[in-house]
Amino acid sequence: MSYLVLARKWRPQTFSDLIGQEHVSRTLQNAIDSGRVAHAFLFTGARGVGKTSSARILAKALNCEQGLSTEPCNTCPSCTEITDGNSVDVFEIDGASNTGVDDIRELRDNVKYLPSRSRYKIFIIDEVHMLTNNAFNALLKTLEEPPAHVKFIFATTEPHKVPITILSRCQRFDFKRIPLQKIVDRLRFIVDREQVSISDDSLAVVARKGDGSMRDSLSTLDQVLAFCGQTVADEDVAGLLGVVDRRLLLEASGAVFAKDSRAALEIVKRVDSFGYNMRQFCQELIDHFRNITILRAVADAADILDLSEGEVAELKDQASAVPPADLQRHLSILLKAEGEMAHSTFPRLVLEMALLKMAALSPIIPVNELLERLKALEGRGSAPTVASPAPTWEKSPPRPEAAPRQTDRGAPPPPPRQKPATGDAPASPDNAPPPATGDPWAGFVAAVRGKKPFLASFLEYGRPLVVSAELLEIGYPPGSFQLSRLQDADALAELKGLAKLFFRREPVIRFKSLRDEGSEAPPTLLEKKSLEETIRTQHLKEKALGHPLVNAALEVFGGVVDGVAKIEGKP
């Protein structure tokens, strides 16, 4: 006698046997009770959740010889023939094999004949989305107004591929993925009757492998029983299915929460020795920490998670002592590591570094606590500041306009740009370039910039050796690009004209190579600007470091001042 697989042997035969689809079975039973049975149904949902089984149960309930009832008797000839798949009035058609318009035309011609023995002639078309558009069009009129003795039941995993004209003519029922706990309970019911010894943890592994599908779970259980026989060990299930042992995940999270880096690395070593895929283990670890986070955030989350009751209890013990913010940080590290492992040639190293980082993660200090610390430090630091005779940073706003410039100019050491004879009055750090009345060279370059900006950009690189109404001598490094452009005849002519306008006479313009005396020549305008910016930044940093709030923040956070920037509108 041939072996009958568990998925066929334990296929639901009544509406009460349907697991996880109570909304469908109740609606169909009420329709039969009230006599409101539609002529066309569309069952949609994932694989193995009971679509075809529901279609057969509905066909038996409608054609049962004991009369219309919410539960078929499964003993009369009509019920047994439908169960065995050889009923002459119930046609199960594979939509993937009969996709053409000719197949639908043959079905349409068969519709007009009365049933041979049963109450209704029922057409069950599985994977109906595989039909062609012409086949759907050929079915439209018959589907909208079928004879009274005909019922259509369509099943599909991809309802979005079914034309809207078909959907509008059917009553649609969406089948849900079956929760893990319900699959485990059903598997326990089956293994008890098959006299198989297996733990609930192993059944949970099998059910999780099914991913919400009862048929896939039963097929996986068949595979396990073929390998293990009537007594199933947890280690055999994990090894056969190639899934990560849940104990490894629990130990990994326990090592992270205990900040035990060595234990975390030992777990990665064991994962590698078992031959598990590192990225798959990381994904399982992400799902594990996600479950812990949800259990920590929600008091009653058993219906949200696909976990057995024993697993929920274990995770609650681990989650009780971990702050939710730390769990979210752990998840962020794992998600980043999983993305890196997809493109890395060293997945083990990526996972090890992620677990080490998680184990060494420092706790987060709440913002409220940080603010309280800042307020306390500010209170301690502000008292001496108030008692001080005249702090500079507090007195600066009420001073006159000219006073801050004189005070600020005297604070930093005198810059080396005072060396040239042409610079009579040094510029303030807050202003650049100096006015033309104080520095003839800067004024001349500014005048050139207003007329010919490209010439001014070349002059900014030159060193003003002599600047007067009679002679304008500019030094450049030999072979420089700016020198070659200014020596061009057209550029030189334009420069002479601009110099005549500025100095009220036409000076002699001469360019000089600074190969030997460049170190003693005056600075360029660009060097002056850079020096002034350095002095200004240094002055601002000194003022910032003298502020009590800045010192308090540095003390709280243990930081350093990396840079300062002046706030616009502030003195």
User: What pLDDT digit, counting tens, does each position of 244-277 carry?
Assistant: 777 888 889 989 988 899 999 999 998 888 788 8
Q: Is the same domain home to 213 and 153?
A: no
Q: 466 is written with which tokens? A: 């002599």
Segment among 90-94, 500-504, 551-555 with least mean pLDDT: 551-555
Q: Is the same domain home to 63 and 166?
A: yes
Q: 448 is written with which tokens? A: 């050139």
Q: Is the same domain home to 159 and 11?
A: yes
Averaged pLDDT for residues 105-123: 88
Give the residue numbers spanning the domain of 469.
410-524
pTM: 0.58
Residue that is last in its domain, among 174, 206, 227: 174
Q: Scan for tokens 């090894």, then name that residue.
A: 239
Q: What is the mean pLDDT of the chain?
A: 81
User: What pLDDT digit, counting tens, does each position of 125-173 carry?
Assistant: 999 998 888 888 888 888 888 899 999 999 999 999 999 999 999 999 9
**pLDDT for the residue numbered 310:** 75
Number of folded domains in the chain?
A: 3
Stretch (H or E) spanning 40: strand 40-44
Burial 502-538 (b: 16+ CB within 10 A, else e): bbeeebeeebbebeeeeeebbbbbeebeebbeebbee
| 374 inside domain | no
- Looking at residue 25, which CATH number applies to its domain? 3.40.50.300
Q: Is the same domain home to 161 and 210?
A: no
| 248 inside domain | yes
Burial 435-451 (b: 16+ CB within 10 A, else e): eeeebbbbbbbbbbbee
Q: Is the same domain home to 225 and 337?
A: yes
The alpha-helical segments, DSSP class H, found in 229-308 are 234-241, 246-257, 261-274, 278-297
| 72 inside domain | yes
Q: Is the same domain home to 126 and 269?
A: no
| 437 inside domain | yes
**pLDDT for the residue numbered 219:** 93
- Looking at residue 474, which CATH number applies to its domain? 3.30.300.180
Q: Is the same domain home to 162 and 285?
A: no
Q: Is the same domain home to 201 and 300?
A: yes
* pLDDT confidence band for 421 (50 / 70 / 90): very low
Pairwise CA distance, residues 388 & 546, whole Å? 13
User: What pLDDT digit, counting tens, does each position of 345-366 carry?
Assistant: 899 999 999 999 998 887 766 6
| 547 inside domain | no
- Looking at residue 255, which CATH number applies to its domain? 1.20.272.10
Radius of gyration of the chain (CA): 43
Q: Is the same domain home to 316 and 428?
A: no
Q: Is the same domain home to 73 and 18?
A: yes
| 540 inside domain | no
Residue that is last in its domain, among 509, 524, 539: 524
Question: Following DSSP, what letter does each residue of 393-425 receive, concatenated?
Answer: HHHSTTS-SHHHHHHHHHSSPPPGGG-STT--S
Averaged pLDDT for residues 279-297: 89
Pairwise CA distance, residues 273 & 265, whole Å? 12
Q: Is the same domain home to 166 and 209?
A: no
Q: 433 is written with which tokens? A: 């370039």
As separate numbers, helices (DSSP H) first and strands (DSSP E) second, the chain gives 26, 8
Q: Is the same domain home to 124 and 199?
A: no
Averaged pLDDT for residues 49-70: 91
Residue that is last in its domain, among 142, 174, 206: 174
Query: How crowded is residue 550: how many other Cβ atoms within 10 Å of its Cβ?
Result: 15
Question: Following DSSP, what letter does each residue of 70-139 receive, concatenated?
Answer: SS--S-SHHHHHHHHT--SSEEEEETTT--SHHHHHHHHHHHTSPPSSSS-EEEEEETGGGS-HHHHHHH
| 379 inside domain | no
| 387 inside domain | no
Segment among 116-120, 462-466, 558-562 with least mean pLDDT: 558-562
Question: Beta partners for 557?
Answer: none
